[in-house]
Structure 1
Amino acid sequence: MNRKTILTCAITGAGDTASKNPNVPVTPKQIADDCIAAAKAGASVAHIHVRDPETGGISHSTEHFREVMDRVRAADTDIVMNITAGGGGDWIPDATDPTRGGPGTDMQTPAERHAPVGELLPELCTLDCGSLNFGDMVYINTADWLREHARLVQAAGVKPELECFDLGHVWFARQLQEEGLLDDDLLFQLCLGIPWGAEADTETMMTMKNKLPTNSNWAAFGIGRMQMPMVAQAVLLGGHARVGLEDNLYLSKGVMATNAQLVEKSAGIIENLGSSVMTPAETRVFLKLRDPSTGKTAGDVVARETAGGVA
């Protein structure tokens, strides 16, 4: 079991959730405020997407990311920042011409996806590790695109969080490592319960965990009602956890959640299992993250036998 747990809060996502829960933040100020609230509730890391402030829809604007990060860094509450680099891969075939993308399609090149990361240099960024039938659309990450994207992240010196939505994504991450496109001390995020990828259950989580490279750090999350059960399961299997309104809108059946409430509830589960939540400072040391204020690595890694989280 993990004795010290990194707890990530995924603040807003990119899906059509703002219309379903009024607590989903939309503007850069609202997203930043929720990052700060999540930190005060006990989160170690804030994972952020940004949205169009007018429509609430998808945005890839570097300036929106910049405003969120500037507001969070100016606050007196610390949290590790993890920005998405996984946007711009949504493909929905046009109903009359399937060779073209229809309404809802949103595609970017690897360089375009990387632009906010390369300019803003967050402590962490996501690197999705494969394509997926994502609900009724296809989320596209071809192998050569991912190789190009991994090179860009590596050159920027930002630590990638390797998001794996299915078992084959873990396989491809190992391939990227063999090709020298990922540095040591890999960090994985096992994304469970998204139709039609890996299921949110113990057997699936354990199978994916067992396929990770030796000495990898890993976390997992489940969506919807499986969010809190997957928090408990990840901690018991030696991993870290993620919650937040990107993945689940409810605190309990029929009760809309806030990000801070989800962090508080999950932190309680973690502590009741006999673990404790890492502070942002502990997280930087454990993951050997670059300090955004100095550009230097945040110190030697915490001893693994005391911090846990090793596959």
Structure 2
Amino acid sequence: MKKARCINKEKSVNLFYNRKMRKWYFTVYFLSNGLVAAFYGWHDNFIYIIERRIMKTGQSYSSKLPIYYIILGGIHMSDLSNKVMLTIATTGAYPIKKHNPSVPLDPPEIAEDILACAEAGASICHIHVRDDEHKASMSFDKFKEVVDAVRPHSNIVINLTTSGGTGWPDDVRMKPFQVLHPEVASFDCGTMNWQRTGIFENHPKFLEKLGTEMQKHDVKPEIEVFDPGMIYNALDLQKRGFLKPGPLHFQIVMGVKGGIDATVDNLVWMHSLLPKDATWGAVGIGHGQMPIMLATLAMGGHLRVGMEDNVMMKKGVLAKNNVEFVKRAVDLIHLAGKEVATPDEAREILGVENKTKIALGK
């Protein structure tokens, strides 16, 4: 009877360095798209070597590097953990020219502003429209005019509101996303008193219908929450199948009269209630914008800026335009050691298709 082989402890620890094991290691490495190599810390070394080789040849970095990625089994995997989605909310339902002459209100103005903000670094545009008297509106034709003017010229992610003011019939609120097929649309997850002037109604039956239609049209809900109870509304809707299974995306809106106040303590509390796999951003209205933006950035959230939420750059100083808000946010993101997500990276973070390419037949 053969004696049981005694495996040297030190040898077993260092099996990785055995030639035979290295052979199997690299086989697994290529087949698994570099995950094993990344696990052992080799991912960055490989990329560094490849990049240096490309630079030495004087060839185009952007055109050649993807070929090396394919050859190496796709070892370069995008890391989105350091990316911040930046939403520009140009118009909203309330501010008008008397609040700031630069608020864009007509569709050509709104579209031009969105394109300028996209050029400045915005990842997503959150679109509201106004009627001919510049009052809040859910006019499908106005939404279509804006979207049709933006899509041929920019890859920015489209996010349409379903709440352009109060009192609109359900079908009017839903038609823009049903027909125009944005990547994202707002999902205001509860009814509340609004700015001391009225009721912002989002009836439970409407939310069930809204969630069902968003699933049908493959639109990602941006779940806007104005108080903690709305987070629990969203979780309940998902549990009952009215929101799609998987990670939800929340926008914590703070500082609206009738909702939660824009304080850092409140933000920390609201964030603690979110599901662990959720993506999220936050915005403070008016003077709450800057402290909430800084806290959100520090906490790993995504940002929203624009004249929908604030028309002032600082106390007593009107913003020149929405681009100014975007540039400041981009600077803050960079100062925090992070990067602004491109529109396609934002789509990857949100788990959505590029609807602009689909709409343009690309």
Q: What residue in structure 2 maps to residue 55 of structure 1?
A: 133
The corresponding residue for 1:79 is 156
Identical pairs, percent? 38
Amino acid at match of 2:107: P
Question: Equivalent residues in 2 for 1:238-257 (5 A)?
Answer: 238-257=300-319
Summarize deviations over 1:9-44 as a string: whole Å, max 9, x none: 101001143321110001110000110111111111
1:172 and 2:246 matched: no
1:60 corresponds to which letter in structure 2? Answer: M
Structure 1 CA distance, aligned partners of 2:217 and 2:260? 30
Aligned match of 1:68: 146
How far apart are residue 111 of structure 1 and its match? 2.2
Detail structure 1 runs of 4+ shifted over 3 Å in the superposition: 293-296
Which residue of structure 2 aligns with residue 103 of structure 1? none
Shift of 1:87: 2.9
| Match of residue 6 from structure 2 | none
Q: Is the 8 A contact 1:193 1:222 kept in 2?
A: yes
Q: 240-249 vs 66-75, which deviates more?
A: 66-75
Aligned-partner residue type, residue 79 of structure 1: I
Name the SS for the 1:9 alignment partner.
Answer: strand
CA contact (8 A) 1:131 1:140 kept: yes
- CA offsets, 1:226-285, max 9 Å, x none? 212211111111211111000000112222211100011111112111111111111112
CA distance in 2, matches of 1:25, 1:87: 15
What residue is the counterpart of 1:17 in the other structure? 96
What is the CA–CA distance in structure 2 between the aligned matches of 1:36 and 1:148, rounded to whole Å?
A: 32
Which structure features the higher share of helix residues?
Answer: 2
Equivalent pair of 2:138/2:163 in contact (CA under 8 Å): no
From 21, 24, 27, give the equivalent of 2:106.
27
Q: Distance in 2 between matches of 1:173 and 1:60?
A: 24
Partner of residue 343 from structure 2, selected from 270, 276, 280: 280
Structure 1 residue runs of 5 or longer lacking an equivalent are 91-106, 297-311
Structure 1 residue 64 displacement after superposition: 0.8
Aligned to 1:41: 120
Deviation at 1:108, TM superposition (A): 2.0
Counterpart check, 1:3 vs 2:82 = yes
Amino acid across the alignment from 2:243? L
Q: Is residue 2:287 matched to residue 1:225?
A: yes
TM-score, normalised to structure 1's length? 0.85
> Is the 1:10–1:246 contact (alpha carbons within 8 Å) kept by the matching residues of 2?
yes
For the Cα contact (< 8 Å) 2:155–2:356, is it kept in 1? no
- Structure number having the greater strand percentage: 1
**Equivalent residue, structure 2, for 1:123:** 183
Equivalent residues, number: 276
Could you tell me which of 219, 224, 229 is aligned with 1:158? 219
TM-score by length of 2: 0.74
Higher-RCO chain (CA-CA 8 Å, sequence separation at least 6): 1
CA contact (8 A) 1:228 1:266 kept: no
Deviation at 1:215, TM superposition (A): 0.1
CA RMSD of aligned residues (A): 1.5
1:65 and 1:116 in contact (8 A); partners too: yes
| C-alpha distance in 2 between matches for 1:271 and 1:132 | 36
- Residues 161, 188 of structure 1: 8 Å contact kept: yes
- Once the two structures are superposed, residues 38-84 of structure 1 have per-residue CA deviations (whole angstroms, 9 ceiling, x without a partner) of 111111111010011x3111121111111111111121x33111010
For residues 114 and 209 of structure 1, what CA distance do their matches in structure 2 show? Answer: 28
Unmatched tracts of structure 2, length 5 or more: 1-80
Aligned to 1:266: 329
**Larger gyration radius, structure 1 or structure 2:** 2
